[in-house]
């Protein structure tokens, strides 16, 4: 199955549907399956190209749900939303990915890039589906202690390159592979800014790049004194600015909570660049 595409000349807009009680960005708002489904429908109506359904919070220090619990959260929502949009499943577990694919999902979004579950890479290769491999250095409980780099862009490129080698070696088709530098995952705010500034270097690996900056902590702190940071729900304007940067620096897609703000920002950027009005 080919990768989803966005409107001509635009990145794919992936709308976030977190079926979790504790995500940093929208924790608990869509925890009931019917609320998550209703939210996904709204994001689609607003113009999301893909709905990204996840049942595990990856905020720093988060405890993992059991596999059973993750399946319970995610499956009914994937099943219902597949009727309205292409769905990606945001999971590190092969069993959850397999069940979501059986339920109709067309893309697997794995923040561990296949490192958390040894069954994930063979599954994705066997099913022949699109796969987002994010840069990852361990589960949330420990990741911030691993935010050490000589040159964050060079190090992330090298580590993602190793993932690409393993994935292609296992039989994942190159045209199915999307890479993501993992903003905020084992990254300090300065690391995330540097990755964003040098986004075009990531496309040098020859694969589409997904940018997931939406409501992340580094957007809360920028320009603000300690203690006066923007709360997660106050970060959508800052996110929209990073979305325009991503769109104009080669990103294939953006993963966002606020689809309306994203499309407004892309409309303005496109018009300023001389595109459709």
What is the contact mask toward ligand PMM in residues 46 to 85, using x (rule: CB under 6 A)?
-----------xxx--------------------------
How many angstroms separate the CA atoms of 56 and 21, rounded? 9
Q: Per CB under 6 A, does 23 bind ligand PMM?
A: yes
Token duo for residue 43: 């994001």
Other Cβ atoms closer than 10 A to 66: 8
- SS3 of 244, please? helix
Min dist. Cβ of residue 275 to ligand PMM (A) = 27
Residue 258: closest CA among 86, 93, 42, 54: 42
Would you say 143 or 265 has its CB closer to ligand PMM? 143
Of the listed pieces 23-31, 42-50, 112-120, 136-144, which binds ligand PMM according to CB under 6 A? 23-31
- 259 lines the binding site for ligand PMM (CB under 6 A): no
What is each CA distance from 28 to 14, 41, 56, in whole angstroms? Answer: 20, 18, 12
Q: Which is nearer to ligand PMM, 162 or 276 (CB)?
A: 162
Q: Which is nearer to ligand PMM, 109 or 123 (CB)?
A: 109
Taken as a whole, the chain contains a residue count of 277
Spatial contact of 140 and 61, defined as CB atoms under 8 Å apart = yes
Residue 135 · residue 160 · CB < 8 Å? yes
* Total binding residues toward ligand PMM, as defined by CB under 6 A: 20
What binding mask, one character per residue, do residues 208-237 give for ligand PMM by CB under 6 A, x or -? --x-x--x----------------------
Among positions 85, 101, 103, 109, the unique one binding ligand PMM when judged by CB under 6 A: 109
- What is the rounded distance in angstroms from the CA atom of residue 216 to the CA atom of residue 239? 8
Residues with Cβ within 8 Å of 5's Cβ and at least 6 positions away in sequence, in order, are 12, 49
The whole-angstrom separation of Cα 262 and Cα 14 is 10
What is the closest distance, in whole angstroms, from the C-beta atom of residue 54 to ligand PMM in the complex? 6
What burial letters (b/e) apply to 183-222, b meaning 16+ CB within 10 Å? bbbbbbbebbbbbbebbebbeeeebbbbbbbbbbbbbbbe
Name the residues annotated as catalytic. Answer: 216, 255
| 261 binds ligand PMM per the rule CB under 6 A | no
Using CB under 6 A as the binding rule, the residues of this chain from 136 to 175 that contact ligand PMM are none
Among 49, 70, 79, 90, which residue interacts with ligand PMM (rule: CB under 6 A)? Answer: 90
The binding site for ligand PMM (CB under 6 A) comprises 16, 18, 23-25, 57-59, 90, 109, 111, 132, 134, 180, 182-183, 210, 212, 215, 255
């Amino acid at each position: 199955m080919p990768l989803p595409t966005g409107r001509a000349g635009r990145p794919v807009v992936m709308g976030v549907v977190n079926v979790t009680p504790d995500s940093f960005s929208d924790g608990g708002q869509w925890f009931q399956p019917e609320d998550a489904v209703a939210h996904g429908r709204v994001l689609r109506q607003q113009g999301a190209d893909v709905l990204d359904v996840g049942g595990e919070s990856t905020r720093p220090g988060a405890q993992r749900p059991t596999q059973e619990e993750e399946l319970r959260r995610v499956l009914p929502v994937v099943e219902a939303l597949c009727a309205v949009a292409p769905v990606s499943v945001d999971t590190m577990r092969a069993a959850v990915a397999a069940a979501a694919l059986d339920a109709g999902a067309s893309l697997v979004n794995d923040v561990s890039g296949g490192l958390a579950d040894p069954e994930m890479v063979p599954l994705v290769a066997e099913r022949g589906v699109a796969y987002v491999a994010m840069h990852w250095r361990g589960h949330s409980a420990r990741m911030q202690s691993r935010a050490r780099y000589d040159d964050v862009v060079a190090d992330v490129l090298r580590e993602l390159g190793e993932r690409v080698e393993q994935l292609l070696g296992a039989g994942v088709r190159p045209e199915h592979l999307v890479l993501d530098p993992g903003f905020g995952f084992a990254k300090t705010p300065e690391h995330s800014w540097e990755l964003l500034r040098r986004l075009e270097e990531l496309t040098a690996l020859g694969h589409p790049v997904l940018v997931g900056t939406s409501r992340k902590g580094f957007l809360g702190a920028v320009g603000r004194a300690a203690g006066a940071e923007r709360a997660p729900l106050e970060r959508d304007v800052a996110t929209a600015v990073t979305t325009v940067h991503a769109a104009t620096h080669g990103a294939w897609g953006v993963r966002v909570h606020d689809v309306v703000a994203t499309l407004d920002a892309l409309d303005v950027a496109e018009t300023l660049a001389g595109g459709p009005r």
